[in-house]
Amino acid sequence: MVNLNEFKNYLISCSKSENTISSYISDLEQYFKQYPTLTRENILKYKNSLTGSTSTINRKLSSLKQYNEYLLVTKQIDGLYILKEDFIKVQNKGNPTDVTTKQVEKFLERVLTKDVDYKSRNIAIVFLIANTGIRRSECCNLLLRNIDLENNEMIVIGKGNKERTVLLTDKVVEILRNYLVDRNKSRYKNSPYLFVSERGDKLCPETINDIFDYYSTPKNKIRPHQLRHNYASTVVENNILTLTELQNQLGHSSISTTGIYTHARKDTIKKKINKLCIGY
């Protein structure tokens, strides 16, 4: 099978996130288990063999396209073998928010009231994500020196190592102050990172998943990205920020991405559809 280490180093030099790199490498390993080389013929055979959702198929093709471009840049090949028409066209799915305001409120209430070790830290993590929309990975990478509670803001390093300033509500500032009191008692209090664990001076994404799992229920399972979507939808629905302002808060490179939150939530549309009664 093709050695992908050089490609991985290339992705790192392009400031791709760890998750993106891991996804690319996994997809490419799947391809090269079946085909020894990247050719137009092999790509078409591979595409026809893929199963799953449209987004999954397109993601796997995107991984091949990225590798194809790398080979072209490094002069290992002389053309692109993956074409625009290879990707499956998808109609805009609208607002990606798949939780209701009520579900989020119930989840946050459990976070506030359920007794657990590191309670102030967990509250700080969940409420920070819920009220800023930062990504799980961004939360893990927050540096203590970049948190300015006096001015209600923090510096976040997002995708592609792009830096942005995210503004904080007074309530979130209060929650973070409470956490910092407990953090100062930790054996990892000298860590440069805002959030620490009992095992190290930096929280890993899997730990944040565990925190969310702890407060979730079978009927109300909430993930970090769902709080991000809910934040964006709530801000738009209540005319709290302009799209440009929200774009900066979320760290989107294109305002068209932020624009998806101007569409109604799916649960709102369902309520309206249920009022329809044609023929009965």
The catalytic site residues sit at: 135, 159, 225, 228, 252, 261
Do residues 28 and 35 touch, judged by C-beta distance below 8 A?
A: no
Question: How far is CA 137 from each of CA 76, 104, 276, rounded to the nearest angstrom?
Answer: 34, 21, 42
Q: Which of 157, 130, 137, 132 is nearest to 146 (CA)?
A: 157
Tell me if 97 sits within 8 A of 229, measured CB to CB.
Answer: yes
Task: Return the DSSP state at 275.
Answer: T
Q: How far apart are CA 135 and CA 71, in angstroms?
A: 31
Q: Residue 273 phi/psi, 5° resolution? A: -60, -35
Rounded Cα gap, residues 56 and 51, in angstroms: 8
* Rounded Cα gap, residues 224 and 134, in angstroms: 9
